[in-house]
Amino acid sequence: MANYVYIAASLDGFIATADGGLDWLDEIPNPEQSDFGYGDFVTTIDAIVMGRNSFEKVLTFDTWPYDKPVFVLSKRLTQVPKNLASPVEIVQGDLKALVHRLNQQGYKNLYIDGGGTIQSFLAEDMIDEMTITRIPILLGSGIPLFGTLVKELRFHHQKTELFNNALVKSTYIRLRE
């Protein structure tokens, strides 16, 4: 059972512009139309846990990108569009209880997505592995990947890959005593 982060961030640590924009990601040189390892990563997870803001952003995409169950953390949403390709459920409450319930339902490897959601999982020390792809751009402001923590969380560098001589993807494993 593990909780994974797989995300892109600007050099200054933002995952989106202040208004949630992701257009800067479309400017990445990608002559081979690579997914930079995302497809391989998704095969290792059982379900996705994301925040409401991320969910609402994904709903603006041309097509629904997930074929795995999606659990949306929200206190505001009460229903989801019925036309989604994979099951989507709105959830809330204590993160540890939620993850325990999902694990009991057979969802052992969870993809944690969205700035606030990632920060909440980190605050509870519930992230086991992070893969962060640094995009060579300084946004100056926006939605940060990381927030304030009450204690240090140490990670071990597992590997780093370079794509298109521009993107630096690094994977880190949580060190636990």
- Asked if residue 177 has pLDDT above 80, the reply is no
Domain formed by 2-12+34-174, architecture: 3-Layer(aba) Sandwich (3.40)
The closest of 174, 131, 144 to 6, measured between CA atoms, is: 131
109-146 pLDDT per residue, tens: 999 999 999 999 999 999 999 999 999 999 999 999 99
What pLDDT score does 31 carry? 64
Confidence of residue 51 (pLDDT cuts 50, 70, 90): very high
Continuous segment of H or E residues that includes residue 157: strand 155-163
At 26 the pLDDT is 85
Q: What pLDDT does 130 receive?
A: 98
- From first CA to last CA, the distance across the chain in angstroms is 17
Contact 68/106 with Cβ under 8 angstroms?
A: no
Q: Which residues of 122-138 are buried (b: 16+ CB within 10 A; e: fewer)?
A: bbeebbbbbbbbbbebe
Mean pLDDT of the chain: 93
Predicted pLDDT at 78? 85
pTM of the model: 0.93
> How large a percentage of the chain has pLDDT more than 90?
80
Q: Where are the domains of the chain?
A: 2-12+34-174
Across residues 80-96, what is the average pLDDT? 88
Other Cβ atoms within 10 Å of 149 Cβ, number: 11
Give residue-wise pLDDT tens across range 1-42: 899 999 999 999 999 999 999 999 988 877 667 788 899 999
